[in-house]
Structure 1
């Protein structure tokens, strides 16, 4: 029997995936008793691996009386390659326990790939010790595999130690470590290593380029220009990086130049390049150009099964440009085409439902998520938790949260924010403590939600503890956390602490300035609030609706009518902001307090929308203060028309009539109150010392 010819035939069957022929050859070898030859058996196992039939490969492996290190290596590699790295690691562990074979460089490389795939850093370090014990440090290929494993397990420091210990570094060694630093965001060290590399190749350039692109740095485009000048061909990896940078920095002109290069180079058919082009035009607000490219692609393709990335880019473009109806239509189109949606498609669809506050549509997308098998995916699952929490459905949000096998900070943050918004502050605190206990990274949004809970309960002590925690984890200068802390101290009457914190922050955005303006207004320091408002404008920051609410509220508390008039007028004339009901309410309050009823009524008449119960109720109170009997009946009619079944309206009317000496009217209203029922007493929450 010619073993060489048989093995050649087996390998050929595996290479061309000739399943029936390979199976027949296997049967022939069984009949002739040739499977005792481990060389033939190893090649048969490799053939079944090429067929992606692991069950037959495993069965043959189990039947072998004698296995070599090649046999084990083939199976470990197969399980890793075909998506079962955990099985590969168990198989390797079994071999070590049985002490049947001593690993060689190929087996070490195979099992290191499995460790990197599952992120098993502990086992990877154990294998590293075995490699050092067996003195394999001079095997550059194996050391590169070890380097790659550490990077995939997220241990850049271990990877750097391995890199420094490699005696003979090849291009793969350099490219792997440069890519590692780029992905980690340490672009300075990545560039430093790139400059030390003897002869950077295209992979080296692309690794550095990807790092700059992820940082949204102009240097990415400079690097592309250098590559072009040096005669390095920009490939389907470099071009998308350049387009990504153009889109992030909104450099439309440069993006169009790269598009011209794409057309000349014939890269338009590449899914990655076309996706990057659609992203670039969408991010530059040129949605029509993105749609044109997308439609052109669809008209040329009979099937969309291989182009989900392009669909996703177009979906992202619609979302970025707030074209929600078009986005929903595209999701429906993807579903109808039979294309299997991925995590990105489904998470984008859920974000649209969140933006639209559309519960019904969100439930339909949730059903689609379940059908596609992504309900427990940590990205999609986290957004589902956020969706239900934002709709106040904490029960369903919590049910999904506990079922998620992997809970990221988005899931925790969404649930905590939902609990705080729904008034379940104690449970929000418990979740926050669980995050700390489980050593889950707490971000500024979680901090903001917990501080909001402290503000709602006037929990000054708890707020101080959270402040200390912010300092400990390095968020003491984060603007989201700082603004929340200022809000907490303001609501707890500790405005001096809020002012000190505000002055401590070097870079302040509009939200931060708004926080201190509102805080000063709430604590009776109106002139300081107005001073901060003017200083903010002088620094070139544009106030928003909340800023105006804060400064107008401060004017109301201090009775500063003229300042309020000027500020309200400037909202539209200088900043293009349409005053909302709360802004008019502040002004009506001020005018009513000063007894300027005619001007107050004129302002109400000029409002672009109908006044609500709050505005009429406020003006009614001032009628009692200034003994204005002329307006009372008019306002009473408006209030009853707006809230005919609200007992508090009638109680207030009765009291006003009584204060004005209109006893008949007061008695008539009291009779109406009796018919409607008794008003329940309100409640307040305060923090007291032990």
Structure 2
């Protein structure tokens, strides 16, 4: 601290000459920076000028005015120093210089100054923030709350909760800001029990009526997976604001209750609340997941009417939605309206083409992106690699691989997985193995891609051996890996192994079979000509078969001599599903 104090004035002495802001009047410029030293002492409102400049986000002007005060030997009070700390928060060395100045002036015991310094230091030096906090003896509730909030912003959620407990132990009564700051720590940790305790405490000390606290609790319960309680808290808010509605709608989307999210949006509109961009994006996300094409088209009209066509984030969400619907023309039309386009928009359009089996269009968008001097990120590379895989464009795929290496993204798990998948789909399994073997930290995604790569190339034994190696390395399989394993068994005629792993899913690894796993088993039985057994398997499934499963069964019926009765039943099921979809 002493070294900081000794060099305090040097920081201000080395500051460059000010650059004028277009928002500051010429009179203020002159009075601030071209003053007569003899007249400067007569100015009694310089301190208020500094505070005013900080409030108007004119940080450079405020700092330079403070510099002029020091040159003219005018002593600032701690309120002025507080304003300058806020003005200098972007410049690390300057903050340290001002910190030293506060020590030299004896302001280091002023709690508002300490609180401001804690907030600024926490952005880039949590150790210094903690040191300041711990060195302060008589902490007030504002300092405690500020330190807890900085912990939450820095991702130190456990420390934030422990700090809150220490505050209560020290006999400091929390205010409503304390609760608003600490509840997100419980939300991000998924600490439902602690969150409930804090909720109970807010009721006990009569702070529960604050809408900000209630909004935080709604978010916390939703993030902890207790959506029912989240809705209860939401319904109990007497004066809901836009944040209340946005938080509840987001909670429903986050917990896969998409229809409920749409109902809440309708209710919000009925209550005369106009949605903001955040709410609009949440609704678009819910529509995307529900695959509600007609409602999505109607909602597009609403978005246009509300004037959100100029919002990059909203239009990008719409591009993603229509791409998911398979309406690639609408997606492209919206994309073309975007000016300017950010990297997320380019990535979304490329992904939409790649996922809708329009790989050449995806590559065209990539070329347009390059002409706009935009550099691709990992997500774009993954979409491009998928496009190359779809159109068997080996040369272009190798070129993309080269760009990935050049960009230094070779450690990204999704990229490595996509490259393994691409080369295996090209039939170049040795190249896929080479990329897999060079991967230093093989995660579940990489293992799954390599297993699937062996399977699609007819190397069933190698695929199962790869799966065993994964298990021996301590990685727990998930449902996606089991799809790769069962699909391999189906394609390679490994019926005995397929049944063994299908039963082991639930019994040994706790993975509940989904439609994709049942589809693999139906496909395996159909390929072996066991149509009657496959039909019986479908009828005994704990979940309703979809079009894919009935379609696989019908294809097996056509290849094998089976009873007409089974073929008729399977055909009727497919027709019924198609009619249901069209209705």
State TM-score, norm by structure 1. Answer: 0.65
2:310 pairs, out of 376, 380, 397, with: 376
Equivalent position of 2:283 in the other structure: 349
Deviation track 1:543-573 (CA, whole Å, cap 9, x = no partner) reads: 4454233223433454433222322343455
Matched, 1:165 2:105: no
Equivalent position of 1:519 in the other structure: 453
Structure 1 position 539, deviation (Å): 5.4
Q: Following the alignment from structure 2 to structure 1, what is the Cα–Cα distance between the partners of residues 84 and 405?
A: 38
Preserved contact between residue 163 and residue 173 of structure 1 (Cα < 8 Å): no
Structure 1 position 174, deviation (Å): 4.9
Structure 1 position 262, deviation (Å): 0.6
Which blocks of at least 5 consecutive residues in structure 1 are unaligned?
1-87, 117-123, 592-596, 624-629, 645-690
Structure 1 position 414, deviation (Å): 1.7
Preserved contact between residue 53 and residue 61 of structure 2 (Cα < 8 Å): no
Structure 1 position 518, deviation (Å): 0.5
| Residues 401, 141 of structure 1: alpha-carbon distance in 2 compared, 3 angstrom cutoff | farther
Preserved contact between residue 394 and residue 419 of structure 1 (Cα < 8 Å): yes
2:22 pairs, out of 90, 93, 111, with: 90
| Residues 639, 296 of structure 1: alpha-carbon distance in 2 compared, 3 angstrom cutoff | closer
- The size of the alignment, in residue pairs, is 524
Structure 1 position 436, deviation (Å): 6.2
Q: Following the alignment from structure 1 to structure 2, what is the Cα–Cα distance between the partners of residues 352 and 643?
A: 28
1:412 pairs, out of 328, 346, 355, with: 346
| Residues 530, 428 of structure 1: alpha-carbon distance in 2 compared, 3 angstrom cutoff | same
1:222-237 equivalences under 5 Å are: 222-237=162-177
| Residues 618, 284 of structure 1: alpha-carbon distance in 2 compared, 3 angstrom cutoff | same
Equivalent position of 1:583 in the other structure: 520
Equivalent position of 1:58 in the other structure: none
State TM-score, norm by structure 2. Answer: 0.76
Equivalent position of 1:554 in the other structure: 488
Deviation track 1:232-265 (CA, whole Å, cap 9, x = no partner) reads: 3322222133222222222221111111211122
Deviation track 1:283-316 (CA, whole Å, cap 9, x = no partner) reads: 2232222222222324xx5xx4xx2222222222
2:216 pairs, out of 273, 276, 288, with: 276
Structure 1 position 94, deviation (Å): 6.0
Equivalent position of 1:291 in the other structure: 231
Matched, 1:210 2:170: no
1:602 pairs, out of 518, 533, 538, with: 533
Structure 1 position 441, deviation (Å): 7.1
Tell me the SS of whatever aligns to 2:157.
Answer: coil
| Residues 460, 211 of structure 1: alpha-carbon distance in 2 compared, 3 angstrom cutoff | farther
| Residues 206, 578 of structure 1: alpha-carbon distance in 2 compared, 3 angstrom cutoff | same
Q: Following the alignment from structure 2 to structure 1, what is the Cα–Cα distance between the partners of residues 126 and 406?
A: 27
1:110-125 equivalences under 5 Å are: 110-111=52-53, 113-115=55-57
Preserved contact between residue 351 and residue 380 of structure 2 (Cα < 8 Å): yes
Matched, 1:359 2:290: no
Q: Following the alignment from structure 1 to structure 2, what is the Cα–Cα distance between the partners of residues 473 and 127?
A: 41
Preserved contact between residue 247 and residue 255 of structure 1 (Cα < 8 Å): yes
Q: Following the alignment from structure 1 to structure 2, what is the Cα–Cα distance between the partners of residues 440 and 127?
A: 36
- Higher normalized contact order (CA 8 Å, seq sep 6+, divided by chain length): 2
Name whichever of 92-101 and 562-571 sits farther off: 92-101
| Residues 620, 323 of structure 1: alpha-carbon distance in 2 compared, 3 angstrom cutoff | closer
Question: Which entry has the higher C-alpha Rg, 1 or 2?
Answer: 1
Name whichever of 349-358 and 411-420 sits farther off: 411-420
| Residues 643, 436 of structure 1: alpha-carbon distance in 2 compared, 3 angstrom cutoff | same
Structure 1 position 643, deviation (Å): 10
Q: Following the alignment from structure 1 to structure 2, what is the Cα–Cα distance between the partners of residues 440 and 227?
A: 49
Q: Following the alignment from structure 1 to structure 2, what is the Cα–Cα distance between the partners of residues 426 and 98?
A: 61
Preserved contact between residue 320 and residue 331 of structure 2 (Cα < 8 Å): yes
Deviation track 1:520-555 (CA, whole Å, cap 9, x = no partner) reads: 223343222102223434556554454233223433
Equivalent position of 2:468 in the other structure: 534
Preserved contact between residue 250 and residue 282 of structure 2 (Cα < 8 Å): yes
Which blocks of at least 5 consecutive residues in structure 2 are unaligned?
1-19, 36-45, 540-544, 576-583
Q: Following the alignment from structure 1 to structure 2, what is the Cα–Cα distance between the partners of residues 230 and 371?
A: 55
Matched, 1:388 2:388: no
1:47-58 equivalences under 5 Å are: none
| Residues 318, 111 of structure 1: alpha-carbon distance in 2 compared, 3 angstrom cutoff | same
Structure 1 position 587, deviation (Å): 1.1
Structure 1 position 406, deviation (Å): 5.9
Structure 1 position 639, deviation (Å): 10
Deviation track 1:376-410 (CA, whole Å, cap 9, x = no partner) reads: 23433332232223223344334434544564443
Q: Following the alignment from structure 2 to structure 1, what is the Cα–Cα distance between the partners of residues 389 and 279?
A: 37
Equivalent position of 1:42 in the other structure: none
Q: Following the alignment from structure 1 to structure 2, what is the Cα–Cα distance between the partners of residues 312 and 588?
A: 48
Equivalent position of 2:3 in the other structure: none
Structure 1 position 331, deviation (Å): 0.9
Preserved contact between residue 458 and residue 492 of structure 1 (Cα < 8 Å): yes
Tell me the SS of whatever aligns to 1:92.
Answer: coil
Structure 1 position 321, deviation (Å): 2.5
Aligned-pair RMSD on alpha carbons?
4.1
Matched, 1:400 2:339: no
1:255 pairs, out of 174, 195, 200, with: 195
Preserved contact between residue 549 and residue 582 of structure 1 (Cα < 8 Å): no
Equivalent position of 1:179 in the other structure: 119
